[in-house]
Structure 1
Amino acid sequence: MLGLRPAHSGDDTASILQQVNAGGIKPLRQLRRDLPRDLETVIAKAMSAHRDQRYDSASDFADDLRRVLANEPTVARPPTLIDHIVRHAAKHRTAVITTLLVGSLVLAGLAIGTTMLAAEKQVSDTLLIQAQHDRAITREAVDRLGMQISELLADIPAANSVRQRLLSETLDYYKQIAAAEVIDDRDSQQRIDLAVAYGKIGIFQSELGQSADATASLRESERLYGVLAQDSPDDADVHLQWSISQNNLAERLAQVGDLQSAAEWFAKAIATQKRLGNNVELAKTLNNLGGMLSDAGNVSESQQAYERALALIDGGGRGNESVPDAGTRDLVHYEERTLQSTIRSNLAGLLAKHDPHQAATLARQSLQYQLELLAKDPGKPKLATQVMLTLNTLADTQTQIGNHASSVESLRQAVEIGRQLHTRWPDQPSYRRDLAISLNHLGLSLSALGELNQAQSVLQQAAEQGRALLEVYGDSAEVQNMLGGILNNLAFLAGRIGDRHTASLLYEDAIVHQQIAIDLAPKILKYQSSLKTQQTNLKQLRGES
């Protein structure tokens, strides 16, 4: 109303949502020079694209508007230079991030150069302290670029290629830091910095698909923290970070199929976190352990891990830690509720076949919270993805109960979300994968209802999405396994319809992809189990014993 025009214009919902998702509105005083600058600032805060930058309540918004009328200072402040950089990072992704990358590399070069010169020339203590201070500032800047802006770009699917480049450049920086570091065994902060550096190297390598290198880096980070913990037996923070490094290493080992080693590292992390009384980190580790046990087919122990994790969060979260201030407390509450929702969804997926009624209750609880978040921030694709995956879990429980009609309805909602995400961001592979999974489940539910032609059409769409994904991720064991499963389901349906020739070809194709998955990840037992199922189905089709 103040600008005498809509804040976002467009001919359809999609184009308007795209503008909203990009963030930012045209400043009011560019439209109306007669408006007070404070009013412009207040409106801009109220309409921020990010929830945590808006007013906490309508009352706070009203109070600031009253201050404008009374010509008093407002809570809202004009955006800082950093605010402008973040907004431009979302709006002009490639140009701005490339500039930031160049800046980070210049800073990195200066920091490493300064440190090495300080060591080589043995400058005075004053200059050495200054060099260390400069290095700390540089690392903080690169951390913001590599981690925080990377997380920002993770919510902007179109910026995926830029994010990959940013991760790669940040990884190179940390490698240089680790290589150039001259460690004084008496300087605990230097040793902590090196442990942190290797931990971040491992995380970046994992994000970039460098599996073996990631495992080696995470092992080195854990080793360095272990030495620090031995030297500082009473330093709770060092011991907590040590346990987190053990959890990270365990997750990586589980991903590559080394479940025995992963279980050992999870156990070490859990023991330390229990001793420290940090319930949130302990719940995270137990959730990760539950996922590994679920993948290994150990339902009973997986359920115990998930239920222990939920009990820790339900019981008050942070255990023996000090009480945070109000702002931190809100953030902690959000993180704990989000973790609680994730654990419930994981437990629901585990129990779908064994206790579908309890699983359905858990899935609905998780879905309710996710929908609340999505209603507050409808332009966030990550939240939409979480809703989509929980709908799949809910549908699985409905299928197990025998309510196939409800399952079909849940899955159609999931597929619709998946199609919207994939249509808006066709180059984001995770959206194609999630859509393929939802289509596969929908095909199975339609088949259970006797809608065989519809089921066949939907499964064919799932297979198309899976094959398209292989063009980019042909060396991904999980993608090969996913396509093998879809083709097996499509073959079984073709056999039901009576097309035995097509069914035979599809089973053969499924077996090829499943064998590739096993070759890529020979330690993951579920891949071998799926192969045996497909081979048995083909033999039965051919009438072989």
Structure 2
Amino acid sequence: MTPPGPCPPPEALHRLGADSLDVGGFLALEAHVAECACCQDRLDRLARHEPTETSDGPRPAPARPAEVPGCVLGAELGRGGSGVVYEAVQPRLGRRVAVKILAGGPALDARARERWLREARAVARVRHPNVVRLHEAGEHDGRLYLVLDLIPGGSLRDLAPGPIPPRDAARLVEAVARAVEEIHRVGLLHLDVKPSNILMDGPADAGWEGRTPMLSDFGIARDEAEAFEASVSGTLGARGTPAFMAPEQVDGRPGAIGPAADVFALGATLYALLTGRPPFQGASAIETLDLLRATEPPPPRSLAPGVPRDLETACLKALQKAPSRRYASAAALADDLRRWLDGRPIEARPVSAAGRLARWCRRRPAPAALAAALAVTILVALAGLAALWRRSEHQRGLAEAARVRALRGEATADDAVADLVALLRRSVEVPGQFSSERTDDATAAVLDLTAKLRRTPALVARHATAIAAMEMGLANIRDRNGARDDALRLMDDAADLVAATLARAGAGDDRVQAAVRLADIVMRRGGSQQDRARFAAAAEDLRLAERTLAPHVDDPRAYDALAALRHLRIYLARAAPAAAGPEPGRAPRTTADPILNLVDALAECEARGPGSPTAAAWEALDRVPAATRLPRTVELLLADLAAREICESTDADVRDGDRFDPEATARRILDGFDAGLARLRPSPTRTEDVLERLSQYATLQAIAARRAGRLDEARRSARWTVALGRAIGRRDPRSAGPHLLLGRAFEQESKIAWRVPDEAAVERSLRVALAEMTLALALAPDREDTRRSLAGLREKYLRLAAAEPES
């Protein structure tokens, strides 16, 4: 085998084994090593020592220093690429400690010193019973040192060379996960969680239950915001230990490295304790990285049959390649492990057979195509055999076989529609295109799909409603981008598809769901027509929605749609009385339902506009029994009412620039926020709803001032919004709402900076807005509005980088 070019020096190979290169250098060096047997042998010798990034290359271990201030050094406890750890005694305090002397001595460069200082600061910020404490950091005779707790029990890697009992493994990883959650809470990422960095505190002869895990070695820990910025700019590099790194650490994808990387490392550590080996273990470091990128880990039960199924499920969920598919936080993993230890059901669910098949098809498209062709051939052959069997005397057996085939065919159709919907959704996120170009492609694909589906008379109702929902999502995007004719065309298509399904549906749940879906579509189309002053068309859509819902007016499943209908009818009557007709009131109903009475009060209150009395709406809410579940539309209308009252109270402050104090305004708004939540019967969902509506009102307040040329007033609106978001964020750090509020406020600051113009301020504001929206999405990955806002900010940032003006 001839290597492509000269071999790299040993220092570069050490950095590849230690993963301390930037992404470009990492990939170039990896390509050379893949073709060079000599370099592979040298790299394998490094990889056997499980290296970790601590420097830019190998440095000689420091000579034993004569002294360290306040400490008397004893036996050497261990050494590695970053330095040597000694047992020591502090005579003045009578305390045994561990002293870590950094390799390199007086010749250390500025970058190594910066990394040492970062490690010291990281350890000092964390206070947790399962994290090794830092007592002192300093420099003596040109050597940098850290004085840490002495944990004499050895590392988890040394004490567990093979599998350990599952309950002990779960208990140890739960404790470490709690420590990692505390690290994340103070804004750090550890990025090197593994068994050799988990020290075991306890007597030497104690069992696993008598030992306490202590997380150590913050040598490559990063501040979360710093890690995000570095990964966006491409300067973070691939850092960590190959067998325990998350895929995003290896790839260095912009903005991808976050708390989920440590969750992956916790899953890899749990896997190693259960099976006695890491989840990805190749014959070389290069092969390990290739396995990490391209393959799924073997299920732990295939290596250790005694591993319980639920524990295996939790472990594999933490090892998902996509960060969004892992546990949302280290605390969530710890909670699931605690549930398993307590004998309760875990929240994670195993990947289904269909999910595993879909992943395999994406990784192996050519074999998947051959398998599909073989399956079609087999089905055709089975169909031929079935035709012969129908002529035989086993009619009962044939009938049963036909029923089984029909069920399988329906399940296959379900999977096909679900896969197609997912494929089209992913097409909206194609890299290298702006959102307008992506939605053009997706719109054409959806309309072509529905044209074919309408030629299928047996289309199942749930398939039609799923595809119609996808069309309405695209219509919303097109409407926001100004392509209103395309949006109406998509709404027409969705309405036709669901109407055809409703005409074929029998009595039961399918009919109610199809009716509610059709009413929702035509009401949204009517709202769009009204926005374009097409009042006659809007009135006709609302009458169609009323006729569709009339048979289900007393069905709680239709309450959301009835609430939206009442809301739109009042607005139409206000904008165009002649088009609405003489009786624009509520849909007919046979019972005096308190929820629908609340809907009437809310709609009347909103129709009267800002500054109108709101007491009637709150009185109607008080008449609804406390245990009654409110429809989602009603919850949103109540959140809107509470947010409107809060935001209207800021108008005078924003206009009075001389005495404006954003912190004081934020404190007063926070009191109103708590009072509004108390009226709404607080729940996490309602808190997020009010924050969402409040961020929308604050954004509209800033937009109105900015468009009127009152830039100082717009800045004041953004400033009280930032102060409020930070106040709520400090009070509830796990809520996505404050980060969404901050993201939108900084986005408004970037728009104000465009008017000055000040491009540097625009870039700063957009970067902070991106960071806040990314945190909001990490805390609430299922929120579509946050995902759309983040996509819009990314596009603005790309246009800024391309020197395109803000529109």
TM-score (norm. length: structure 1): 0.46
Greater helix proportion: 1
TM-score normalized by structure 2? 0.34
Q: Give the strand-richer structure, 1 or 2.
A: 2
| Larger RCO of the pair (alpha carbons < 8 Å, separation 6+) | 1
